[in-house]
């Protein structure tokens, strides 16, 4: 299988293009802040950003001017408050194009995109005002009875960027912990960048195939980027930096502070490695969880 390893710089330069639709997925867990920051550093423009929860990474990307549009289902700083850079755009005079769903609607959109279906049916939205403000959410009648369900259209990102715990050089990628809808987003996308905490041999993947979420066949680039999720987290590797999520409330509330933060932590570092070093060993120690290993399973040998 081909070796698809690339630096984050090269993967973003080659595979993320101005004006495209980009999904950096991961539900709270495994959000590739490293990729988002590289997109900011390369001054990509006019992107449409998709995520269930735009989270701090899209607040930062919107503040940095990379995005014209946002497709989402929950727009907040999880557990803390608001995404103020995005809110300023929506409440002020410099509007961002938004397309809004519920979580299941977004999951359904990726699922239809991944499965090659023209729409995804779900039991939601009846009696909600969401269909009135988003004409892509449409009631349809069951062909087998009188029931009405709602349809959402497939979502086909030009690029999906998915962080995983481990991958091999060709892009077979394994995740444990919250799975979000990374698999669906990756299969729905035209191009896929896998970002991994650790590079492993193909044999490690083959020894535990149930854990593989993304196969090499849909992967365009593999970026080995330890600590690439901070302040999001990687289960078993480092915890979510809740202190930073709390701090973001004040930073993003003030455009000058936000610009200064981008200057120091995004434009002011050349790479994720520099960012991680700048954060300091003490912070990483605080974020390192204790062990909680699973019992091994035996797949059996059949010769």
* Helix, coil or strand: residue 173: strand
Q: How many residues belong to the site for another protein (CB under 8 A)? A: 59
Is 191 among the residues that bind another protein (CB under 8 A)? no
Ranges within 137-156 binding another protein (CB under 8 A): none
Half-sphere exposure of 118 (CA within 13 A, CB side): 2
Ranges within 37-66 binding another protein (CB under 8 A): 52-53
> Distances from the Cα of 293 to the Cαs of 151, 170, 176, 235, in angstroms?
41, 27, 12, 11
- Kindly indicate which of the ranges 24-32, 163-171, 217-225, 272-280 contains the residues binding another protein, using the contact rule CB under 8 A: 24-32
Dig out the tokens for 231 from the structure: 């302040």
Can you tell me which of 58, 125, 187, 275 binds another protein, judged by CB under 8 A?
Answer: 125
Which residues does 167 contact at the CB level (< 8 Å), separation at least 6?
Answer: 173, 174, 194, 196, 198, 199, 200, 205, 222, 224
59 vs 259: CA distance, rounded Å: 12
Of the two residues 203 and 292, which places its CB atom closer to another protein in the complex? 292
Is 231 among the residues that bind another protein (CB under 8 A)? no
Of the two residues 42 and 242, which places its CB atom closer to another protein in the complex? 242
Dig out the tokens for 137 from the structure: 């959410």
Name the strand (E) or helix (H) holding 84. helix 84-91
Is 170 among the residues that bind another protein (CB under 8 A)? no
Is 136 among the residues that bind another protein (CB under 8 A)? no
28 exposed, middle or buried (CB, 10 Å; 0-12, 13-18, 19+)? middle
Residue 166 beta carbon to another protein: minimum distance, rounded to whole angstroms: 17
Can you tell me which of 184, 197, 220, 225 binds another protein, judged by CB under 8 A?
Answer: 184
| ∠ CA 236-27-294, rounded to 5° | 30
What is the per-residue binding string for another protein in 256-295, x denoting contact by CB under 8 A? ---------------------------------x--x---
Residues of the shown chain interacting with another protein in the complex, contacts defined by CB under 8 A: 27-29, 52-53, 72-82, 86-87, 90-91, 100-104, 107-108, 111, 122-130, 133, 176-181, 183-184, 233, 235, 239-240, 242, 245-247, 249-250, 253, 289, 292
């Amino acid at each position: 299988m081909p070796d698809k390893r690339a630096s984050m710089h090269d993967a973003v330069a080659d595979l993320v293009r101005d004006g495209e639709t980009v999904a950096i997925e991961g539900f709270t867990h495994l959000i590739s802040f490293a990729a988002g920051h590289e997109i900011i550093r390369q001054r990509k423009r006019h992107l449409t950003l998709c995520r269930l929860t735009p989270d701090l990474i899209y607040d930062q990307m919107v503040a940095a001017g990379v995005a014209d549009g946002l497709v989402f289902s929950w727009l907040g700083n999880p557990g803390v408050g608001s995404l103020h850079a995005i809110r300023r755009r929506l409440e002020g005079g410099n509007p961002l194009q938004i397309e809004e769903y519920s979580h299941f609607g977004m999951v359904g959109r990726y699922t239809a995109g991944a499965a090659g279906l023209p729409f995804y049916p779900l039991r939601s939205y009846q009696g909600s005002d969401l269909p009135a403000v988003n004409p892509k959410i449409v009631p349809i009648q069951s062909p087998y009875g009188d029931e009405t369900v709602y349809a959402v259209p497939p979502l086909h990102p030009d690029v999906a960027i998915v962080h995983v715990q481990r991958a091999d050089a060709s892009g077979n990628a394994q995740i444990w912990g919250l799975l979000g809808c990374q698999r669906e987003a990756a299969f729905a996308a035209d191009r896929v960048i896998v970002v991994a905490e650790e590079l492993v041999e193909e044999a490690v993947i083959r020894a535990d195939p149930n854990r593989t979420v993304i196969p090499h066949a849909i992967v365009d680039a593999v970026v080995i980027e330890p600590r690439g999720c901070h302040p999001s987290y990687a289960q078993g590797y480092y915890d979510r930096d809740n202190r930073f999520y709390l701090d973001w409330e004040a930073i993003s509330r003030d455009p000058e502070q936000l610009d200064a933060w981008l200057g120091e932590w995004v434009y002011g570092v050349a790479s994720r490695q520099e960012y991680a070093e700048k954060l300091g060993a003490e912070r990483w120690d605080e974020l390192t969880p204790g062990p909680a290993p699973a019992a091994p399973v035996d797949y059996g040998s059949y010769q």
